[in-house]
Structure 1
């Protein structure tokens, strides 16, 4: 089985088989986004995921590792889907390999027009939401949760690492899938 089909089957196992595929560009080297609306998702959230990043953005030192991105929101829409898809395609054009704790920040503006988030923070879940995938050729794919974060949360990661942000989130637990969430109290000035 080719690697893209293997990733698609892995998503079906963990998210459901009723996804929609949204293509943004009709040219080689770009990807679209899979979408599981909340009503058909197995996890009671709206899920978006990339399909093909692992084959287009190899790890700089270990070509046997790749990554895919997903994100979960309580209510999805076209603007959010487009922002997620553009971020993923920018990674391809820039050749940016991501690992847990990395951030993708726009040079100006917000990642989603009308929302306060400035960066996508890549998180690796420790539960079995979607575990890594071992491919037939011995390579493996990790799945990173691309979570929208406030500028203050991104700054906390830059200054204190992920553990510094997790300490804040432990103090004032956010519902990360809620795009209407507010800045955690310890970060409010």
Structure 2
């Protein structure tokens, strides 16, 4: 009887592991596609929540195999046309006398203009903490560590493509990104 119980528990354990792999599989497959294609491009409508104010801007983004993100500002119109290359740790971006400085979020760890770079970097190399289906969408949760500080990046997928993402710090959303026109390089 004891052997039967042990065998049953081992089967149960193996089944649980298989289902976890199946749940993570779409996030892992997406990561492999982005890496194999040398990056991706997308439009990011970024909403930065400073508590008292919310700032919004729209960027045309393209990533490469080095986790760099090149963007051109589409909106607001006063900044349209500014282009820059940033990494997840980017800073104030100044070109031709114009600057995009939206302040710092998440205790100084997130610069809103670099938010799409943080998200795309998570897609390719951050720890996938969890994943699963939420309503009709697939959600992947990534953890990004900065020294002893941790950002949580949630991405929602529809038909295998990212449609939105959130960057959270201390259980509060600081950045929301609506993603459109996604394609692999």
- TM above 0.5, one fold? no
Q: Which of the two has higher C-alpha Rg? A: 2
Q: Which structure is richer in relative contact order (CA contacts within 8 A, separation 6 or more)?
A: 2
Structure showing the higher strand proportion among its residues: 2
TM-score w.r.t. length of structure 1: 0.29
